[in-house]
Structure 1
Amino acid sequence: MAKQSNPSTHLSGKHFWHPKYWGIWLGVGLLRVFSWLPFAAKFRVGKQLGRAMYWLAPKRRKIAAANLEIAFPEKSVGERQQLLKKHFESIGMGFAEMALIWHGDHKHHHGKAFERTLVTYRGEQNLQNALNANQGVLILAPHFTTLEVTGLFISFLTNYHAVYRPHDNPFMDYLIAKGRSIRFDNGEQVQPVANNNTRLMLKMLKSGGAMTFLPDQKYRAKGSVMVPLFGKEAPSNPATTKISKLTGCAVVPTFTRRIESEQGIRYEVEFLPALEHFPTEDDQDTLRLHHLYETAIRQAPEQYLWVHNRWNLKF
């Protein structure tokens, strides 16, 4: 697997002691404290945090409510309201998962990390078949609230690079890149790839590497296509088709679900078979992907990231 150089990860925290970063440092400290809680307690506190966010983030609550009305018109107002509250709880649990990713057991011994016991894989052979073809694998992982743990669970199966959108704030960019870097027991560290580094992304795939990609959010840049999602046209990113055309890589849709039970929190990661007869045309391919996302979202609707203004609604 090719390594890549990311300027953000060459920095250290001491580069960001200026007072303008102190608010972020407070968040970093709270996340560290969060990580010290027992595993089950992390998620109980995370749920409470999500319930507080429901009241403290009225704009995001309004966006999520509007999105849920578009996606689930068949549900009653009361049902959507309950789903909205569960969604914010799921977001809060996502912060518990972020603490796990940044400070978890895998940071010390990836090969035998505690987090390996938390996940069950479905369709693992689908991923393995794509990897064995040695043509490059684009692992599509849409924006669910389980996004942070998805990358960790994939790293237990294969060496890969995560694609991420660089943050405008250099300290946040440094933290995101550092948090999503994976250090293996042999000392190798695999760093995330900025989504504006197209040349490196294509190079990695052409060399037979694997890469996670998040293609499902609102996209208004040049080349955007309007494609229905839950029956309503949405500005969408056709990059999956373009990358596949340029590299010949396999495209493997991947979905992670958080499962709550009396035994505690567990996860299921599902790998669908690599898409056949793909790519074709931007609109057709994107619509095909949207249908896959819709199916996965309906299985755990509270876990999709509804606070994002996916349909570019006016408020």
Structure 2
Amino acid sequence: MDHAVFTRALLHPRYWLLWLGLGLLWLVVQLPYPLLLGLGRVLGKLMYWFMADRREVARVNLQLCFPQMNQLQREQLLRENFASNGIALFEMAMAWWWPKRRLAKLAHIDGIEHLQSAAAKGQGVVLMSLHFTTLEIGAALLGQVVTIDGMYREHRNAAFDYVQRRGRERHNRDAKAVEREDVRSMMRSLRSGRAIWYAPDQDYGRKASVFVPLFGVEAATVTATSTFARLGKAQVVPFTQRRLPHAQGYQLTIHPPLQDFPGGDDTADAVRINQWVEQAVAAQPEQYMWVHRRFKTRPEGVARPYAKRRRRRRRSRR
């Protein structure tokens, strides 16, 4: 995929409101980092009260995944999670627009040798990540140090798509954006010794998924991690990032590659993946993206745990 290119079509009046909003966000994100964290927490409180559907999705997920917690503990975790989601908006803007030197000061990276070792062997890497709220800034910070290609899904709004892609590409111009459905391009990248960011922790439906436990709940889990590693002859290297307390920045950890993976059994591999997901999420549950309907696809005969989405009523035309 080619790099993002600005065109005159992006100046169409239908994009003006978006450009205005992005401009205001750019101005706000110039503030000192500790202040942005505080503003993010305030935004998170507003999101908690006004995003009722997402709040209830997250609440159900926490009930399913942490039954050992009492209701008060889960509610506190839920509120902290929304605070983290609020901060994530400013972290996204920081990743897109902060000067690289300013951004790099926030990075604390461990385990870079695992990627260097694979590169020295000419072996591709599936950089297995998760949907933490710090996803955007974590990828940006790592992208300043090593070349990581990313799975990409085009945004419906062309102007936002341009801003998003440009913001992501600026950290390493050698990095490529690979369409999520373009398996052939991904295989070529892996076989040529490149590293590709990939997250297997969301519900993508029954197709190419198996049901295996996640926090004790049967979850539709993609088998693509095994497929990519096998066909791309690549290592699977787990990667996590964490927002540090007291405005100290971000801890990025590249973990040792999975051994004997894939193992020849997609279901057994999926169990291993979910066990790792459990460990990574349990270490920082307040920073995980619980607002996703992770358990929406159920085994036959099992009801969905989420309430039906509220649909806006259309006004009747006279």
Closer, same or farther in 2 for the Cα pair 1:236/1:171, shift >3 Å?
farther
Q: 1:51 aligns with which of 45, 52, 73?
A: 45
Distance in 2 of aligned mates of 1:221 and 1:173? 28
Q: Tell me the equivalent position of 1:117.
A: 105
Alpha carbons of 1:283 and 1:19: their partners in 2 closer, same or farther (altered >3 Å)?
Answer: farther
1:72 deviates by: 0.7
Q: Shift of residue 173 of structure 1? A: 2.7
Of 10, 30, 34, the match for 2:5: 10
Contact 1:166 1:195 in 2 (8 A): no
1:314 aligns with 2:311: no
Pairwise CA distance, 1:221: 5.4
> Is the contact between residue 180 and residue 192 of structure 1 (CA under 8 Å) also seen in structure 2?
no
Mapping of 1:63-74 within 5 angstroms? 63-74=57-68
Q: Does 1:283 align with 2:267?
A: yes
Tell whether 2:244 aligns with 1:259: yes
- In structure 1, the residue matched to 2:219 is 234
2:204 is matched with which residue: 219, 226, 232?
219
- By how many angstroms is 1:23 displaced? 4.1
* 1:96 match: 90
Structure 1 residue aligned with 2:34:
40
Which structure would you say has the larger Rg?
Answer: 2
Which amino acid counterpart does residue 220 of structure 2 have in structure 1?
Answer: P
Query: How many Å separate the matches in 1 of 2:219 and 2:17?
Result: 35
Question: For 1:171 and 1:236, how far apart are their aligned partners in 2?
Answer: 33
Q: Which runs of 5+ in 1 are unaligned?
A: 107-112
Among 267, 271, 296, the alignment partner of 2:280 is 296
SS in 2 for 1:158: coil
Residue of structure 2 equivalent to 1:202:
187
The one-letter amino acid of 2:251's match is E
Task: Output the TM-score relative to the length of structure 1.
Answer: 0.89
TM-fit CA distance, 1:61: 0.2
Task: Give the secondary-structure state (helix, strand or coil) at the position aligned to 2:213.
Answer: strand
1:17 and 1:28 map into 2 onto residues whose CA distance is 14
Q: TM-score, normalised by structure 2?
A: 0.88
Aligned positions, number:
298
Alpha-carbon distance in 2 for matches of 1:129, 1:74: 41
| Alpha-carbon separation, structure 1, partners of 2:240 and 2:38 | 24
Matches of 1:227 and 1:27, distance apart in 2: 42
CA contact (8 A) 1:163 1:194 kept: yes
Query: Structure 1, residues 172-201: CA drift from partner, whole Å, max 9, x if none?
Result: 3333222211344xxx45342221222211
CA displacement at 1:150 relative to structure 2: 1.4
